[in-house]
Amino acid sequence: MKVAVVGATGLVGSKMLQVLAERNFPVTELLPVASEKSVGKEVEFKGKKYKVVSAADAIAAKPDVALFSAGGSTSLSWAPQFAAAGITVIDNSSAWRMDPTKKLVVPEINADAITPEDKIIANPNCSTIQMVVPLNPLHKKYNIRRIVVSTYQSVTGTGVKAVEQMQGERNKEVKGAAGEYPMAYKYPIDLNVIPQIDVFLDNGYTKEEMKMVNETRKILRDDSIRVTATTVRIPVVGGHSESVNIEFEKDYDLDEVREILSNTPGVTVVDDPANALYPMPKDAHEKDEVFVGRLRRDESQPRTLNMWIVSDNLRKGAATNAVQIAEYLNANRLV
């Protein structure tokens, strides 16, 4: 397949190239795409150098699939142009996720919804993806009524500038003409926790929190699920963590929950508190699985489960999920 990666020089775009190579995706021709200022620069893929091209040149080259990770405004502007040329776009921004005409896909859950007519397919938010992968089989079995989630999200979810800010604070490095390291956040992030991801909305929630609410319902295909979220940025490089409290309609057996999760594709259960074994971001780094642990019954109300979920936000939370969608398209001859 001829593949374009739009935003190939960014954190997620670079990870997409890495994952395409690792999973031996059948790339016959690669078109790395970035902003005009990056055109002509080189990126590496499977030991070869490829020159970055413009979006217009990529469309003219007619790739089969375009993996987008270049921000919402770029996606809104260019994805329809790629689609109009018959190219299937898998978009990692928030631009198309809640568009009722676009599919929001986590392959383990709802890839079956994709049709050949779907030329723009949305990749969900990183924090949503890792939560719904283990929740989907539990919803099928016990019927989820309500989810309360608090996240502990890595600075890599913000981008390179945030990583540089944290490392600058940690190492007391001075960068730039202004004599200080770049500030991706309003406040210091090292030795701190920032209870804001994205902008605040009129209801007092952040945009990131409402993404988790709305995307979860769309992916699980159930608008009756009540979801409330608090999303928080922590000084960790790579890997988001989530504390999730799930109220079911039906009661559950904890051993059965462990068995269901252990048999769920893409999920690894790490749940042995007696030996201090539970998922941590450092163990999820550069892995594609969603790790689940701290499974326990909520003793404050019936039919309610607590769990701890960890995943590499740049991989399953972004790049790997997008590549898995492309693999599904290829395997099912949808492009």
Residues with a known catalytic role: 126, 240
HEC assignment per residue over 150-195: EEEECHHHCCHHHHHHHHHHHHCCCCCCCCCCCCCCCCCCCCCCEC
C-alpha radius of gyration, the chain, whole number: 20
Separation of alpha carbons 248 and 245, rounded Å: 10
Longest CA–CA span in the chain (Å) reads 60
Tell me the pairing of strands 290-297 and 304-311: antiparallel
Say if residues 19 and 11 touch (Cβ distance below 8 Å). no
Residue 243: exposure state from Cβ atoms within 10 A (0-12, 13-18, ≥19): middle
